Structure formats: C-alpha cells, structure tokens
Amino acid sequence: MRKKRFLILILLTFLLEGLITGFFLFRSQDTKQDTVAINDCIKVIEENYGQEDKYLGSPSYSLIDNNGKLLYKNAEDISTSVNEAIQNNDTILDIKQGDTVVGKVLFHNDTQERIGQYQKAIAVTIIASAVIQAVLIIAYVLYLKRTIVKPFDELSQFAGRVAGGNLDIPLPMDKKHTFGSFTEAFDLMRTEIKKSRAAEKAANDAKKEMVAKLSHDIKTPVASIKSASEFGYELAKEEKVKERFNLINFKADELTVLVDNLFQSSVHDATEIAVSPRENDSSSVREAILHADYLNRAGSFTIPECKVFTDKLRLQQAFDNVFINSYKYADTKIQVDAKLEGEYLKVAVRDFGPGVTEEEVAVLKEKYKRGKNSEGKEGAGIGLYLTSYFMKEMDGEILITNEDPGLQVLFLIRTV
C-alpha cells in the first residue's frame, strides 16, 4: 500500500509540474503590445500636445520633439531617444499637429521582461518539482531498502547459518514487510530441521550406546577364549597343537583390538568440519558479533582496524555458540572488549551470570561436557568444543575464565 502511495505522489508531482509549466508557456505567448491602448494614447497626446498634465499614464512611454529633446515620460527605465528605442525594440510613432510632425512617442516594449518573468517562474517550478521528486524518490528507495533489501539480507544470512548447521538462532519475524511470510516459513523450516537433527542425534546416540554395550559384552568371551588358549598352549605337547593354540591367542588379540576400535568409534565419533581461513578485514569480526548478538545484549563496542586470518562462516559459528550459551545460561547483559596485542586480536565476551565452578572451566572445551547449571536446559555439550576446534583451525584459540561475576570467553584471533 505504501509503495502505491509513493508512486502516486511522484506521478502527481510530474503532472503538477507539467500543468504549471504549460500555464506559464501559454501566458508567455500573450506578450504583444496593446495596439488599442497605444492608439488611444497617441490621440490624447496629439489633442493635448504641450499640456503634459493631460497626458495618459498608461502604457509606459516617453515623448521627444523633432530635435530629440525629452519632453515627457511617465515611467522610469524606459527609452528616451530613438537609438535606445531601436535597441530595445520599442514602438516609435510620430506626433502630428495637423499635417506637421512635431515629435515622436517611444512606447516601452516590455515583452522581453514578461518573457523573462515567465521563464523564471518556469525554472522555479521545475527546480521545486525536482527537489520534491528527489525527496520522494530518496524516501521511496529508503523504504524499499528497509522493507525489501534489509529483510532479504537477513534471510540470506539466516540461510547461511542454517547451511552451516547453526539452528539455535531464530529469525525475527515482521509480517509488515514484503518478506514477512517468507520469514515465518524460514523460521518454521529451522524449527523442523532442529527437531529432525535432535531426533537423528537421539537415534545415533542410541545406536552408539548399543554398539558400546555389544563391544563391552564381546570383550568378556574374547578374554575367556584368550585365557583358555594360553592355558591350552601350556598344556600342549605337540608343536602343531601349540601352533593352533598360539593362532587362537593371536586372533583373540586381534579381535580385542577391533572391538576396542569399534567401542572408541561409537563413543568418540568425531566429524571433520572443513575450515578455510584467509585474510579478512577486522570489520568482519564486528559483523560476526553483531549477527550473533540477535538480542542486542552487548551494546556498543569497537574493533581495532587490522587484517585477521579467519574463515568468516566458522568465526560466525564460534561467536554464535558463545552468545547462545550466554543467553541460555546467564541471561544477562554482555560486555565485549577488543584490543590488539602481539600477533593477536583479542576479543573478550563476558556475561554477568553465576558462572561455573573452577573444575568445570577446565573441561568446558571438551566434547559432551556441560556445567551443572545446564540441567533442564537443551544442549548437547559440543558448542564450546566446536568453537575451540574452529579457532585452532584458524591458528587461534579461546580461553575460558570465571569473572566476578560471570563467565568470560577470550577469542585470540590471529592477525596478518
């Protein structure tokens, strides 16, 4: 609806500009001198020649004798000689007494002045209309940017996060702009994908638990077989029998290794995530923090200008994980401080919650490790593990410390 109003206003200004310009152009055509008034004036002057007080006051003119002497004029800034009248395109007529020419009347030609006034009026109209149109167009562009471009950018960033596996940050919904319905659909998609991921994780955990139990159960009979083979080897008299028992013992050892590998794989399944760091401006760090802080808890902060060695997507995920933890477990304001020190850009992200115990601080970067304050809250215990992994792959690191109050995560981002 607003877009239609903007377009109607712009069209109305063009129409109004055309009407006013056309009006002044039409008026500029009517700039001829009034011949009837000039003839009446000539007649009055001839009848009252020499009696200036009886001359007409309009139109503007001056009266000279045959010698060029000025006898009378009824206005300022008009021609007072035949030469001036010729230069100004004035009307020059003779004054007669009987059949004798006694002087000349120089009627002022104001055609150019009136045309100039109309031209000025047209120019003012065009300039004023152009200013109004420019303001309307700028307002329209800003409106389009706010209602289309900005929401589209947010959708693009959201899609990038979902593609990167970050399903915790919701997409703010505003049904007033053009992409309102898309926004709602995208966030529903995020919710459904998150549920699917949770169900997939539960299934995988159940599978790994089953494999771990089977691996553990297999170890007991394998140990018994190994023990029996060793005992048989000691009792055997013939070399062939001993070789057989020795082969059984060897295969039992081999089976034990395979079962251990299966057990370790089920419990410590690690997925390789590609990290591709390269040179970026430090402004990308600020953008990552702003995008991660979707609740605007951090307030204002500054990032020193420099070049950093980062993967923008993985750095975004790293900050997302830290801010999500702060929202979830601290639910306080967040303080962000940054400084250049040595070969690192150090960015400290601190909340003002209860923090964790010193024993828990030491293991927070490990996989599936969570603090006691996480009880009853959704999470898998891999956020800080992945954050630490991403930073190490970018030649950086995170340091976690308890503050008074709160918890601080210090990002060491390598500079170039």
CB 371 within 8 A of CB 328: no
**Spatial separation of the C-alpha atoms in residues 79 and 58, rounded to whole Å:** 15
Strands (E), 67-157: 70-73, 91-97, 100-107
Do 294 and 409 lie in one domain? The reply is: yes
Tens digit of pLDDT at every position of the chain (416 positions): 566 676 777 777 777 767 776 666 665 555 566 788 888 888 888 888 878 777 877 788 888 888 888 888 888 888 888 888 888 888 888 888 888 888 999 888 877 667 667 677 777 777 877 777 777 788 777 777 777 777 777 767 767 776 666 766 776 666 665 556 666 676 677 777 778 777 877 777 667 666 665 665 576 577 678 778 887 888 888 888 887 888 787 677 767 766 766 666 555 554 457 789 999 999 999 999 998 888 889 989 999 999 999 999 899 989 988 998 898 888 999 999 999 999 999 999 999 998 888 888 888 888 766 666 656 555 556 778 889 999 999 999 999 999 989 999 999 999 99
- In what order do the strands lie in the sheet containing 397-402? 334-341, 344-351, 407-414, 397-402
Do 245 and 295 lie in one domain? The reply is: no
In the prediction, which pLDDT does 77 show? 82
Do 373 and 288 lie in one domain? The reply is: yes
Do 285 and 242 lie in one domain? The reply is: no
Kindly report the CATH number assigned to the domain that includes residue 231.
1.10.287
| Count of Cβ atoms closer than 10 Å to residue 220 Cβ | 9
**Spatial separation of the C-alpha atoms in residues 221 and 71, rounded to whole Å:** 142
Do 213 and 260 lie in one domain? The reply is: yes
Do 243 and 190 lie in one domain? The reply is: yes
Rounded to whole angstroms, what are the CA distances from 316 to 289, 312, 344, 414?
A: 7, 6, 18, 15
Do 283 and 404 lie in one domain? The reply is: yes
State how far Cα 56 lies from the chain centre.
Answer: 73
**Spatial separation of the C-alpha atoms in residues 199 and 188, rounded to whole Å:** 17
Three-state secondary-structure class, residue 155: helix
In the prediction, which pLDDT does 264 show? 60
Q: What is the pLDDT of residues 48-83, one digit of tens each?
A: 887 877 787 778 888 888 888 888 888 888 888 888
In eight-state DSSP terms, residue 66 is T
| Count of Cβ atoms closer than 10 Å to residue 393 Cβ | 15
Do 257 and 283 lie in one domain? The reply is: no
- Structural element, H or E, at residue 64: strand 61-65
CB 282 within 8 A of CB 319: no
In eight-state DSSP terms, residue 307 is E
Rounded to whole angstroms, what are the CA distances from 307 to 74, 280, 304, 392?
A: 81, 6, 10, 18
In the prediction, which pLDDT does 342 show? 92
Count of domains for the chain: 3
CB 336 within 8 A of CB 298: yes
> Which residues are paired to 414 by β-bridges?
344
Three-state secondary-structure class, residue 387: helix
Q: Which of 87, 108, 129 is the last residue of a domain?
A: 108
Tokens of 179: 């992409």
CB 182 within 8 A of CB 152: no
Phi-psi map region of 147: left, alpha, beta (phi>0 left; psi -120 to 50 alpha): alpha
**Spatial separation of the C-alpha atoms in residues 38 and 32, rounded to whole Å:** 12
In the prediction, which pLDDT does 399 show? 94
Range(s) of the domain holding residue 322: 278-414
Do 405 and 282 lie in one domain? The reply is: yes
| Count of Cβ atoms closer than 10 Å to residue 162 Cβ | 17
Nearest to 413 by CA among 325, 323, 340: 340
In the prediction, which pLDDT does 270 show? 43
Do 214 and 257 lie in one domain? The reply is: yes
Q: What is the pLDDT of residues 180-197, one digit of tens each?
A: 666 667 667 777 777 877
| Count of Cβ atoms closer than 10 Å to residue 204 Cβ | 12
In the prediction, which pLDDT does 16 show? 76
DSSP string, 25-57: HHHHH-----HHHHHHHHHHHHHTTT-GGGS--
Do 80 and 190 lie in one domain? The reply is: no
CB 59 within 8 A of CB 32: no
Domain annotation covers residue 116: no
Do 364 and 329 lie in one domain? The reply is: yes
- In what order do the strands lie in the sheet containing 61-65? 70-73, 61-65, 100-107, 91-97
Peptide bond into 59 cis (omega under 30): yes
In the prediction, which pLDDT does 218 show? 75
Kindly report the CATH number assigned to the domain that includes residue 333.
3.30.565.10
Pinpoint the alpha helices (H) of 164-307: 180-235, 239-267, 283-292
Q: Is the dihedral of CA 339, 341, 347, 352 positive or negative?
A: negative
- At 371, the amino acid letter reads G
